[in-house]
Structure 1
Amino acid sequence: MKMDLITAVLCILAAMVAGEIVSMKTKAFVPSVFVTAVLFLIGYWTFFPQDIVSTAAFGQPFAGLAMYFLITHMGSLMNIKELLSQWKTVIISIAGVFGILVALLTVGRAVLGYDTVVVGAPPLTGGIVAAVLMQEAAREKGLEMLSVLAILVYVAQGFVGYPITAILLKKEGKDLLKKYTGTGDKKISGKNSEEKYTEKRLLPQMPKQYNTTYMMLLKLAFTAFLAAKCAEIFNNLLKSMKAGFSIHALVFCLIFGVIFAEIGFLDRKVLNKSESFGLTILALMAFIFDGLKNATPQMLLQVAGPLFGVIFIGVIGLVIFSVISGKLLKESIPMSISIAMNALYGFPPNFVLTEEAIRSLTDDEDEKEYLTQIMMPKMLVGGFTSVTIASVIIGGVFAGMLK
């Protein structure tokens, strides 16, 4: 069926709101992204047109712009010290991805067969780029069913990752709050949110009358622009060195967001202050759910066995390796698994899941700020490590492994 713009927007918002209501009623036990994803899936199987997201103007290029803005905005929430301190997160995330590969290339290969695990493993590490690479590689070899599997693994893995991560993040948040309030083993003093954002900066603050919505967005766009150009130069250098991989521009956006907020050029919480955050995250989440339009009931039935096997075996490997690495690095088990689980969805679901978990635990703004400053950087960096970097490299390697 055909749908006009405002009807498409209305349907998308209804699915988003339904997800939020269920999440609030269950205190984030059932995450909103899970409910909304199910509703989108049912919608595509019934009355949603295939182009509902693009009809609502939430497809490309708006979704691409939203991604650049949101990631740079995320950087403005951190400081350089926090970003540099996330080396443990990077190791745990890589360990989780390694666990997926080890489990699938050993147990998975014995149960599912070589070609199935070679096609299924890269999409399970998170990236759409890896999924497309394996889809094309399978098609070139005449493996049509496995080309479908590649996309379905990418689409379906979130249904496993969302609820598990929601439960674990709530557990981590509860433990952190016990320490923060002094009811646990150790009292940790947090910073008031206003106090946190009055640090010394290299550049003077812009007068309030000039720091309008347009000005804040201009500075955000300029920061993202510089990040994208630096990424282009850096990746051209890697290409000239025949490195065989590249670093996504969004990784540079996160780093530039941190640096430019630190020196005082970019406002902290810039999308919130410019009152642009809601529409931006709506467009991006709608675009993410757009990937479900290809998961028809027939496709799911056709590859149900291999699909379940790849995800189940891969996730078991992810959990085992993330727990081991977390133990060695003295990170909690819930946080270690949550970091590694980013491979199953990445950004922005990791941001939404973390926000919901925090919101369900406390109404106190200082406590929310405390939990955000500890949990959010770990989830964001974990997502970049697995989805944006590792999965692209793995996809490139595994595409050449098909027989």
Structure 2
Amino acid sequence: MQPIYIVLLLVAIIALGEVLSLSTRAKIPTLLVVIATTFVLLQTGILPESYIEASTFVAAGSVLVPVLIVHLGTLIPLPVIKKQYQAVLITVIGLIISVVTMLSLITLFFDYSTAVAGAGPLTGGIIAYIVTSEGLTAAGYTSIAAIPVVVFALQNLVGMPLTSILLSKYALSIRDSLADEAVATTEQPDSPLAADPDKKLIIPARFMQSHFFILFLLFIGGALATWLGSITGINYSLWSLAIGVAGSAFRFYPDRALDKSNSTGLAMVALIIVVINSLVGITWDQVVSALLPVIFIIVIGTTGLIIGGIIGGKIFKWKPTKSIPVVLTALYGFPGDYLIVEEVSRSVGRNEAEQRRIMNELVAPMLIGGFTSVTIGSIVIASILIGTL
């Protein structure tokens, strides 16, 4: 089959996932649909395993991983993170307690490699999953290769409903404590994900108007990270993230760099096809055998996140119904965190003013929590843990 036909099929699966996710307001995650559909097609032979590699997008996606991580480092400016330092620290506390709990109890019930296989994906998103999956394969742990993909596929189903329930309770307390006069004067703040239009870069603005030039800068960062990883033994993902954050802070990269180059959509398609390719070789028996450790990983890991959210909330005097959801963003990240806040504000607020006030208070800490866990924390965790195998 011609590569264009294979890519069309794979993109159709991704599009199906997006349609279902948007139709259910992310209650059915895109990646769950993609993983489940592709796995069934592979197991039934409808989609031969050789076709995915033949699509040529696997190679492109692998090349783009360090570039995408550099981009992740440019998503939210450091000044915004500093303003939301409490959300950052509460999330970090939750991640640490969750990982320590998993490494202790999962190792006790199963073994250390199983704990590592679940810790990275559970505390983050697609990049952490790829780092974990690649690391397990390189270390020869093919027998537990199904664990990270099953954790990755199912954790949304636990995190999002739990977050929605807790945030709804917190939103009720906001609504009940507000006077209509105070609410009406509240203005909508800029989203933490918005780029700073006044940011002056060290490279002349006329060059930064070129999409190709911005891509060139991102590939410089990705290539440098790969080279540093090869000579230091520190995973390239950590270098990529550091280069992205530093490059944005020192004004070498614009905010949301890959978006500025109009390349995010195609890059994410290539990345998801890398995830699809990781399903090649995984059998139904492996998935079934992984279900028990996956249940333990999700229950123990989520419990650790909740305990961390409670402890962090007590330290910074946040209600648990606010602090726990901020930590639980590790289970789904963006755009799930934004969609949940939007849905809660619309369903709890009795009028536009109340809805705006609820949105104002919750959107920034939730987005920062997801950025801290999924974009930064999980990559660090997965990279370090894989290095211990």
Q: TM-score range by the shorter chain?
A: 0.7 to 0.9
Alpha-carbon displacement from aligned partner over 1:84-107 (angstroms, at most 9, x marks no partner): 45655256335434334335524x
Deviates more, 1:379-388 or 1:223-232: 223-232
Aligned AA (1:105): S
- Give the equivalent residue in structure 1 for 2:42: 44
Q: Within 5 Å, which residues of 2 pair with 1:64-103?
A: 64-85=62-83, 88=86, 89=88, 92-93=91-92, 95-102=94-101
- Give the equivalent residue in structure 1 for 2:123: none
Shift of 1:339: 5.6
Q: Does 1:219 align with 2:214?
A: yes
1:216 touches 1:274 (CA, 8 Å); kept in 2? yes
Q: Does 1:278 align with 2:277?
A: no
Q: For residues 119 and 230 of structure 1, what CA distance do their matches in structure 2 show?
A: 26
Q: Does 1:393 align with 2:384?
A: yes
1:250 to 240, 257, 261: 240
Shift of 1:155: 1.1
Alpha-carbon displacement from aligned partner over 1:372-398 (angstroms, at most 9, x marks no partner): 75543431221244422123323434x
- Give the equivalent residue in structure 1 for 2:197: 198
Q: For residues 167 and 278 of structure 2, what CA distance do their matches in structure 1 show?
A: 31
Shift of 1:83: 3.4
1:31 touches 1:356 (CA, 8 Å); kept in 2? no
Shift of 1:297: 0.7
TM-score, scaled to structure 2: 0.73
Aligned AA (2:98): G
Q: For residues 295 and 359 of structure 1, what CA distance do their matches in structure 2 show?
A: 37
User: CA 1:131–1:40 in 2, change beyond 3 Å: closer, same or farther?
Assistant: closer
Deviates more, 1:277-286 or 1:184-193: 184-193
Shift of 1:157: 0.6
Shift of 1:134: 5.6
- Give the equivalent residue in structure 1 for 2:151: 157
TM-score, scaled to structure 1: 0.71
- Give the equivalent residue in structure 1 for 2:349: none
Q: Describe the SS at the equivalent of 1:292.
A: coil
1:125 to 119, 130, 146: 119
Aligned AA (1:252): A
1:319 touches 1:340 (CA, 8 Å); kept in 2? yes
Alpha-carbon displacement from aligned partner over 1:179-224 (angstroms, at most 9, x marks no partner): 99999587553345799733353658735xx655xx2331343255
1:92 touches 1:340 (CA, 8 Å); kept in 2? yes
Q: Does 1:321 align with 2:316?
A: no
1:166 to 153, 160, 170: 160
User: CA 1:199–1:27 in 2, change beyond 3 Å: closer, same or farther?
Assistant: same
2:77 touches 2:248 (CA, 8 Å); kept in 1? yes
- Give the equivalent residue in structure 2 for 1:353: 336
Q: For residues 33 and 333 of structure 1, what CA distance do their matches in structure 2 show?
A: 29
Q: For residues 225 and 285 of structure 2, what CA distance do their matches in structure 1 show?
A: 44
User: CA 1:282–1:109 in 2, change beyond 3 Å: closer, same or farther?
Assistant: closer
- Give the equivalent residue in structure 1 for 2:370: 379
- Give the equivalent residue in structure 2 for 1:229: 224
Shift of 1:132: 5.5
2:326 touches 2:370 (CA, 8 Å); kept in 1? yes
Q: For residues 330 and 230 of structure 1, what CA distance do their matches in structure 2 show?
A: 39
User: CA 1:282–1:69 in 2, change beyond 3 Å: closer, same or farther?
Assistant: same
Shift of 1:343: 6.0
Q: For residues 351 and 318 of structure 1, what CA distance do their matches in structure 2 show?
A: 18
User: CA 1:230–1:21 in 2, change beyond 3 Å: closer, same or farther?
Assistant: closer
- The count of aligned residue pairs is 365
User: CA 1:164–1:381 in 2, change beyond 3 Å: closer, same or farther?
Assistant: same
Q: Does 1:56 align with 2:55?
A: yes
Q: For residues 394 and 323 of structure 1, what CA distance do their matches in structure 2 show?
A: 25
- Give the equivalent residue in structure 2 for 1:290: 277
Q: For residues 19 and 195 of structure 1, what CA distance do their matches in structure 2 show?
A: 26
User: CA 1:286–1:375 in 2, change beyond 3 Å: closer, same or farther?
Assistant: farther
Aligned AA (2:153): F
Alpha-carbon displacement from aligned partner over 1:273-313 (angstroms, at most 9, x marks no partner): 44322212211122223323333112123444344334433
Aligned AA (2:29): P
Q: Within 5 Å, which residues of 2 pair with 1:335-346?
A: 336-337=323-324, 340=327
Q: For residues 199 and 337 of structure 1, what CA distance do their matches in structure 2 show?
A: 34
1:27 to 17, 25, 28: 25
User: CA 1:286–1:102 in 2, change beyond 3 Å: closer, same or farther?
Assistant: same
Q: Describe the SS at the equivalent of 2:334.
A: helix
Q: What's the % identity of the aligned pairs?
A: 19
2:94 touches 2:307 (CA, 8 Å); kept in 1? no
Shift of 1:266: 4.0
Q: For residues 270 and 45 of structure 1, what CA distance do their matches in structure 2 show?
A: 38
Aligned AA (1:101): V
Unaligned runs of 5+ in 1: 140-145
Give the superposed CA RMSD. 4.4
1:83 touches 1:377 (CA, 8 Å); kept in 2? yes
